[in-house]
A and B are shown apart, each in its own frame.
Chain A
Amino acid sequence: MKALSTKDLTKKYGNKTVVNHLNLEIEKGSIFGFLGKNGAGKSTFINMITGLTLPTSGSFEILGEQGDSLHRVRHRIGVLPDYSTFYENFTALEHLKYYSRILRLSLTTNELKEILKQVELEDAINVKTKNYSFGMKKKLGLAQAIINKPELLFLDEPTSGVDANSILNIHTLIKDISAQGTTVFLTSHNLDEVEKLCDDIAIMNKGTIQTKGSMHQLRREYQDNISVYIKHDSISESKQIKLRTELSSLVKNMKVASDHLELFVEDESVIPKINNYLVSEQINIYRLEVEEPSLEEIFLNLGEEKFSA
């Protein structure tokens, strides 16, 4: 079953179409990464799904309910919206108490403190949020989103403005939450983060989905080159020349040195062939490294091929 599916979801501001007939399905239990340039429409999309912004047209289904019945599933959803603030004169704990009452959760003070501890705010539980830093507010935003142990969690840039250590903690938290069965939908400009966390991703551009799929699929689709590094015995000049001619049909590009090879192949299926050849030539291999294209490369590829169009 799908956690979320949208049908021709559209948002216009005046005559500017910000989200354009968007169709997207999110599998239950997955961590879904939503990428795209500034102004691509990612936040607008999340805001429509979570009831903050009204769609101009189209529809969506969330946790089995139609979008107009969103109120029925609200207690099963957690949201960290893109731009939101806290009551200046309330402490973190007071916020969580208020929100838990609104959600009619019967959480004890200790349970709420535990949630604040999960986002590393245990030292600032009783500090008014007007004295919070940007990153601390982000963490409190995360805390309020997970207060109800949601089945579906929306995180709009959960780690932007957060220090490196805290980012790692948030990643662990997201993974833990996901491991408990929560579907996570997150946006991020940090490609490493998305690559590390997400099972599926979609890249949005100018209100439409440019490409979507699992990380694995996208890698296959957008990889130009797999780079292969092979460290081996020292070999003679003549053997190097032989290697070069023999391998030229298998690889796209290569650099042959006396003790290592740097190869660029188009398809991973040639790697065993290269390996076999080296073995048959009685060259001892010490190390073989294959580097897959990163999300960043995919992203850049997309940018060159299509974004500029």
Chain B
Amino acid sequence: MFAITWREFTSQFKSIRSIIIILFIFGVTTGSAKLISQFEMQLKDLGLGDNAYVGGLMLLLFVASPLFVTSISHSIVNKEVDSRTIRFLATKTSRQNIILGKFLGNFLFWMFCLVIALLLIVPFSHAFYFSEFIQSVIYVSYFIGLTLFLSTIIRNPSLTMFLGISLSIALPIIGIWGMFTKNFIIKSISYVTPYFYYTQDHTSYTYFVLIFTLIFLVLSLMVFKRRDL
């Protein structure tokens, strides 16, 4: 399993798409941190203080990371099934190891990106925002799980690309819409998006989102085990 994890992880650094995304995140993070540091006094007056540094990063992740995750990982499983490179793997290790290995590899990649992004603001804020780190990891894990699931149930890589991007635009909209509407359908859907949990007063709600990640993972495993490769 860890051989697959390691390959998934390292291959991200060889893909142009991931490199652009990494540079984008790191660029925006340091850029906004610099900007904020110039207005430190004014922000303190507004009561935003040190949180402003990490706040910018969190907002960026909140809005853009679903798109980033789907665009990097949309074909995590079905590309290999489609090209049949998966066959050599499947004769050597269990299907469970393939799915878990791929999930973990992508998960590690995002952990790595988030740690670096948060470290980049340390020089400005003089603090590592640990709880924000955990929350953003959980948030991203939801989308990794969702993308993995889509990539497992749908055989066509370009279809998962399209669906993934549509969902990563639609889910935030529905999630936030659900907070304000009384429409039953929208509200029910918003409960399965992370946004509902991330907008509660108490941050411990965010841990519920891990359950969804787990559900996606288990569903992917179940589907993948029954698949002819």
Q: Interface residues, chain A, CB within 8 Å of chain B?
A: 47, 50-54, 71, 74-75, 77, 79, 81, 83-87, 95, 98-99, 101-104, 144
Contacts and interface: CB of A to CB of B under 8 A. Distances in A.
Given A71-B94, A84-B87, 16 more contacts: A52-B91, A52-B228, A53-B229, A74-B91, A74-B92, A77-B91, A79-B91, A84-B84, A84-B85, A84-B88, A87-B85, A95-B88, A98-B7, A99-B92, A101-B6, A103-B92
A309 B229 CA distance: 34
B93 A54 contact: no
A47 B226 CA distance: 14
A17 B8 CA distance: 38
A51 B91 contact: yes
Interface in B76-109: 83-85, 87-94
Contacts, number: 54
Contacts of A98: 3, 7
Contacts of A84: 84-85, 87-88
B229 A102 contact: no
A79 to B, nearest CB: 4
A261 B199 CA distance: 99
Contact of A85 (B84, B91, B227): B84
B7 A52 contact: no
A74 B228 contact: no
A263 to B, nearest CB: 51
B3 A74 contact: no
28 contacts: A47-B228, A50-B91, A51-B90, A51-B91, A52-B90, A52-B228, A53-B228, A53-B229, A54-B226, A71-B93, A71-B94, A74-B91, A74-B93, A75-B92, A79-B91, A81-B87, A84-B84, A84-B85, A84-B88, A85-B83, A86-B85, A86-B88, A87-B85, A98-B3, A98-B7, A99-B92, A101-B6, A102-B92
A101 B3 contact: yes
Interface in B192-229: 226-229
Contacts of B83: 85
A81 B91 contact: yes
Q: Which 5 A-B pairs have the closest CB atoms?
A: A101-B3, A84-B87, A79-B91, A71-B94, A102-B3
Which residue of A75, A81, A95 has the most chain B CB atoms within 10 A of its CB atom? A81
B97 to A, nearest CB: 8
A53 B92 CA distance: 14
A144 B90 contact: no
B121 to A, nearest CB: 35
Nearest to A140: B88
